[in-house]
Structure 1
Amino acid sequence: MIYKIRIILDAEEDIFRDLEIEASNTLEEFHNSITQAFGFGGSEMASFYTCDEDWNQDEEIALFDMSENGSDVRLMNETVLDDVLSEQSPKMIYVYDFLSMWTFFVELADMVEKEDGRSYPNVLFSFGELPDAPPEKKFESKPSMDFDDSFDSYDDLDFDENWN
């Protein structure tokens, strides 16, 4: 089975690539296809994240296990594409280069039979040029509590001046 997948850069401008890849490929092979399609060197850390219909991030599938004691993190080279992408769960998030945070929305568009004589993975369509730097993320934050720093005197707070 061949998956036709659209990978969209999280940006105001439309920048995307349509790839076709075998459903039996690993996420590491898919990662390599994405980096090549967008012109990245491919040497930076990256992760896929499963998500729901509203793009709410769930489980991480990492390129490498960076934990000190070998955690339960799923790895790209051990995860097959059709284990995480299907008609029932057609969306994932892909983050490349954790210092720059290139973020992409990955969506399964179609599933077709493999064509004889055609090589996969294959870039079907390319739209838009990748900017020199990743788009800025705008995070909205609300303070979790109000903090009143209007103490006139700290003498009432029962601190021991010689605590050490």
Structure 2
Amino acid sequence: MANLIFRFRVSLEDQEHIMRMIDILPNQTFSDLQQVIGTAFNFEVASSACFYKCDHNWIKSKKMIESDPEGTEQTALKEKISDPHQKFYHVYHLEAGWNFLVELDKIIPVNNSIVDYPFVVDAKGKAPKQFPNAKKIDDEDESDPESGENYHDSELIADGSFDDMLIDEDGNESVGSSSEESPEPEEDQSSLE
């Protein structure tokens, strides 16, 4: 007997020309679908997401599946598909607001498949950055909020600022000298004049 595969057409809500075709097994979960959508669009794993069932005009019904252990992890796709062209509205990352139109394009019979599902069958258009307004952290921006001076951890360690800090066997910090005698700091000659 042939196994069935769901082929979904997944596109960004505002940019339908950016599209991915995804094959997935009917007994796989909405969590599996969410993960392959993220991978297909080069997005980080979504910490929060939800699916809505839609009619043929993409009008959403009530929230159907949320990303929690009892939601996306447990619900098989076949449990929520009642139409051979079923449509879902998927909010991938609630905080970032990425919305996908997910439509069941085909139900395909496959004999003796050796493919691991789910996987991306086709891709059109370059995926946008998941967080386009995120600021890249730059070493130049590391500064003391009070003085405005730039600092780097490597500079603090390299100048010996922590040389007199000792940590005993119990992990307790103490200030003092080690068994090696540290040199006395030089006096500032400008204050003596």
TM-score by length of 1: 0.70
Q: In the alignment, which of 68, 73, 86 is matched to residue 64 of structure 1? A: 68
Matched residues, number:
127
1:46 and 1:97 in contact (8 A); partners too: yes
Q: In the alignment, which of 5, 10, 19 is matched to residue 8 of structure 2? A: 5
C-alpha deviation, 1:119, in angstroms: 1.9
Identity of aligned residues (%): 28
1:45 and 2:48 aligned: yes
1:107 and 2:110 aligned: no
Q: In the alignment, which of 87, 90, 95 is matched to residue 94 of structure 1? A: 90
| Structure 1 residue ranges, 4+ long, deviating more than 6 angstroms after superposition | none
Amino acid corresponding to residue 124 of structure 1 in structure 2: V
Larger Rg: 2
Alpha carbon RMSD of aligned pairs, Å? 2.1
Taking the aligned partners of 1:51 and 1:134, their CA distance within structure 2 comes to: 27
Q: Which residue of 1 aligns with 2:143?
A: none
Taking the aligned partners of 1:97 and 1:84, their CA distance within structure 2 comes to: 21
| Structure 2 unpaired stretches of 5+ | 133-193
Q: Which residue of 2 aligns with 1:84?
A: 80
Q: Deviations over 1:49-91 (max 9, x none)?
A: 11111111113210027xxxxxxxx711121101112435610
Taking the aligned partners of 2:22 and 2:84, their CA distance within structure 1 comes to: 20
2:12 and 2:99 in contact (8 A); partners too: yes
Taking the aligned partners of 1:23 and 1:133, their CA distance within structure 2 comes to: 28
Amino acid corresponding to residue 44 of structure 1 in structure 2: S
Q: Deviations over 1:22-59 (max 9, x none)?
A: 01101111111111111111143111111111111113
| Structure 1 unpaired stretches of 5+ | 66-73, 136-164
1:127 and 2:124 aligned: yes
